[in-house]
């Protein structure tokens, strides 16, 4: 058996370098009486934890605080419908169900919140310097080059409505909710990386690559930031989220190319993140334009190539 390759027995313990998560231990640690997290389920393999949790939420099998973790994702999705796949037990693939009390116009801050939470958890637990590429990619430096090790995907959904009188209702307009998915490359080797720009914690020299404490740290950090944001009614300024995001955002102060919906491109300097979570790009014409959606490429120079 070669390292990082399970043998033909199919045993969960066949790859000793990548042990399975202990679901019972995670439940004991995370689902305390005063915790946001109400359940923790670990599945061996699934297409997408986000898709599964959206389905569970819609049919009433999951409530706020549900956590779904997969040892392997075969059809994971990132932003712009990109695929996110990795070998079994080589990363953290987790989705959580939230029912935010804040106004819905502020829910767009949730993926940025998750980025801040994940980055700070990794810095503390894994001992790596992390950066955020707008809006929600997690970056580390490997060999002097920025590499993406993680991403975040938020999807709006709804919970089953309840009719007056108590009976469960199956209307499509139940309470709104958000499924927040987070994917992190932990132990991938160079030969296992899906694309050249990807990286992993092990390649970045992390002091901890045990997925159990990493997952606990990430979920506790999300709970902490979600609590601050909720207590401030979703205000990114009052909760300190905007300041924390801007402080950790590697995109700010750099020349970028924004590839916008519809094929438009915008080149300029990323000068700020505004109160709506949009990236503000200053162009050579002196115009500051906020970008709400798109793919951002970090450039080496104002007219340079992608980094």
Going by the DSSP 8-state scheme, the letter that residue 291 receives in this structure is: E
> What SS3 class is residue 238?
coil
Answer yes or no: do 134 and 266 share one domain: no
User: Pairing mode, if any, of strands 66-70 and 76-77?
Assistant: unpaired
Contact call for residues 164 and 196 (beta carbons, < 8 A): no
- Token pair of 26 as six digits: 């995670």
CATH at 263:
2.30.30.100
168 and 291 in a single domain? The answer is no
What's the CATH code of the domain at 210?
A: 3.30.930.10
233, 103 contact by CB (below 8 A)? yes
Helix (H) or strand (E) holding 242: helix 241-248
Q: Which of 248, 273, 290 is the last residue of a domain?
A: 248
Q: What is the pLDDT of residue 86?
A: 79
Query: Is the whole model's pTM more than 0.85, yes or no?
Result: yes
pLDDT value, residue 40: 98
Query: Are the C-beta atoms of 262 and 293 separated by less than 8 Å?
Result: no
In a domain, 272, yes or no: yes
Of 16, 17, 38, 19, which is closest to residue 27 (Cα–Cα)? 38
Per DSSP bridges, beta strands 91-98 and 130-133 are unpaired
Domain membership flag for residue 17:
no
Statement to judge: residues 90 and 209 lie in one domain: yes
Same domain, 80 and 194: yes
Residue 196 lies in a domain: yes
Q: Is residue 15 part of a domain?
A: no
Whether 3 is covered by a domain: the verdict is: no
Place of tokens 């998750």: 114
Assess whether 238 and 265 both reside in one domain.
Answer: no
Residues 84 and 229 occupy one common structural domain: yes
Question: What tokens appear for 264 in the block?
Answer: 């438009």
Let me know if residue 306 belongs to a domain: no
Q: What's the pLDDT score for residue 128? A: 96
- When divided into structural domains, the chain yields a total of 2
The boundaries of the domain holding residue 273 are 255-298
Tokens of 220: 């506790």
What is the tens place of the pLDDT at every residue in 225-238? 999 999 999 999 99
Q: How high is the pLDDT of residue 4?
A: 43
> Is the peptide bond preceding residue 135 cis, with omega within 30 degrees of 0?
yes
pLDDT in tens, 1-23: 334 444 444 455 556 789 999 99
Say if residue 202 is in the same domain as residue 74. yes
CB 296, CB 304: distance < 8 Å: no
Report the alpha-carbon distance of residue 119 to residue 123 in Å, rounded. Answer: 6
88, 188: one domain: yes
pLDDT < 70 stretches in the chain = 1-15, 76-85, 162-173, 301-307
Start-to-end Cα distance in the chain: 37
Q: Indicate the burial class of 297 (C-beta count within 10 angstroms; 0-12, 13-18, 19 or more).
A: middle
**pLDDT value of residue 305:** 39
CA 26 to chain centre: 19
Identify whether residues 197 and 126 lie together within a single domain: yes
pLDDT score at 76? 58
Beta-strand ranges (E) seen in 45-90 are: 66-70, 76-77, 83-84
């Amino acid at each position: 058996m070669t390292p990082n390759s399970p043998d033909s027995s199919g045993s969960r313990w066949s790859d000793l370098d990548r042990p399975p998560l202990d679901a019972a231990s995670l439940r004991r640690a995370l689902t305390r009486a005063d915790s946001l997290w109400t359940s923790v389920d670990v599945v061996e393999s699934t297409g997408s934890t986000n898709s599964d949790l959206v389905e569970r939420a819609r049919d009433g099998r999951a409530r706020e605080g549900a956590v779904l973790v997969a040892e392997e994702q075969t059809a994971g999705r990132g932003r712009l419908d990109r695929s996110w796949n990795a070998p079994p037990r080589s990363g953290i693939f987790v989705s959580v169900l939230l029912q935010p009390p804040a106004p819905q116009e502020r829910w767009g801050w949730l993926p940025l919140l998750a980025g801040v939470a994940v980055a700070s958890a990794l810095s503390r637990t894994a001992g790596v310097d992390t950066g955020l590429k707008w809006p929600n990619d997690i970056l580390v430096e490997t060999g002097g080059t920025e590499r993406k090790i993680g991403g975040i995907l938020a999807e709006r959904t709804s919970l089953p409505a309840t009719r007056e009188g108590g009976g469960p209702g199956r209307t499509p307009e139940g309470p709104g909710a958000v499924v927040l998915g987070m994917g992190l490359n932990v132990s991938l080797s160079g030969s296992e990386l899906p694309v050249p720009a990807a990286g992993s914690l092990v390649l970045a020299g992390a002091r901890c690559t045990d997925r159990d404490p990493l997952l606990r740290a990430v979920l506790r950090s999300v709970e902490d930031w979600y609590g601050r944001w909720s207590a401030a009614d979703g205000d990114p300024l009052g909760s300190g989220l905007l300041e924390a995001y801007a402080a950790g955002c590697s995109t700010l102060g750099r020349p970028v190319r924004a590839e916008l919906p519809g094929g438009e491109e915008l080149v300029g300097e990323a000068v700020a993140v505004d109160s709506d979570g949009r990236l503000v790009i200053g162009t050579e014409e002196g115009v500051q334009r906020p970008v709400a959606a798109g793919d951002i490429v970090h450039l080496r120079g104002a007219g340079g190539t992608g980094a």
